[in-house]
Copies of this chain bind each other. A is one copy, B any other.
């Protein structure tokens, strides 16, 4: 396990993921635009690079965990981009939630260089990343997926394979985020109705999630929403809108209307217009309370 792994992107998701890879015994070189965020992980044994290119080895493996398409393009493309250094046989594990279109584009660019782009976005909040409890959705070149499997196993509790087209993993990922947002809106509407009808929000939440809606999403987000307690911020509304937009773009591309997604778009955009762009996305449900005249 002396292979060296590059890791780019040490945000609140990337940081704990990188630490888990390090703990699994890999050598690691990390890069983050804001270098101060690399400190704790270099203290734990990783080396740090000043540019994306510095953490990549020819034919090696590099992981990226960034917040959007632009960030991924910035570290990957161009003269200083990682792609210019990865070379034949290399594998780029792209764990960011980016657009399916970018995944397709990246796939082709990597193929031209003789290396592989494996899309491997994750489900889970920062706490899940820390405790190695992420769910990973992967798609890309079969041989590359086999090679990186032990690394992914160090990061998540389960891996779901969606074939050779990296875009498919991204469609699944953004679909999952859409489903979470839809579940939050649905619960928010119910809890507001309950509150205005004189029923305890927490009690209806508990009934539902102990019975027919006993899944992590309903339990975890439902609790936040029932209690109107949106701290800490695991995923900001601003990025949630980005993801709903990715879903809407994909749905437009294949001509498959998604009215709930359209409505979530409006809900999230309104939240951002009201100054809540950096709040946790569960706070989209505050818009329901606003509409109902609840303080």
Task: Write the residues of chain A forming the contact surface with B, with a CB cutoff of 8 angstroms.
Answer: 100, 123, 135, 137, 158, 160, 162, 165, 167-168, 171-172, 175-176, 178-180, 182-183, 185-187, 189-190, 192-199, 203-204, 207-208, 210-218, 245, 247, 250-252, 254-263, 265-266, 269-270, 272-275, 287-288, 290-294
Contact = CB atoms under 8 A, between A and B. Distances in A.
B255 A172 contact: no
Contacts of A218: 215
Contact of A291 (B187, B207, B273): B273
A86 B263 CA distance: 45
B179 A187 contact: yes
A217 B199 CA distance: 23
A165 B193 CA distance: 16
Nearest to A169: B199
A62 B213 CA distance: 31
A160 B199 CA distance: 13
Contact of A270 (B165, B178, B257, B273): B257
> Copies per complex?
4
A211 B254 contact: no
Given A199-B168, A257-B270, A212 B215 contact: yes
B178 A292 contact: no
Give chain A's interface secondary structure class.
helix
A131 to B, nearest CB: 15
Contacts of A168: 197-199
A256 to B, nearest CB: 4
Contacts of A274: 293
Contacts of A250: 193, 197
Given A168-B197, A179-B187, A199-B168, A292 B259 contact: no
9 contacts: A171-B194, A183-B213, A212-B216, A215-B215, A255-B273, A255-B292, A256-B292, A259-B263, A262-B262
B190 A179 contact: yes
Nearest to A259: B266
B262 A266 contact: yes
A152 to B, nearest CB: 15
A228 B192 CA distance: 30
Contacts of A216: 211-212, 214
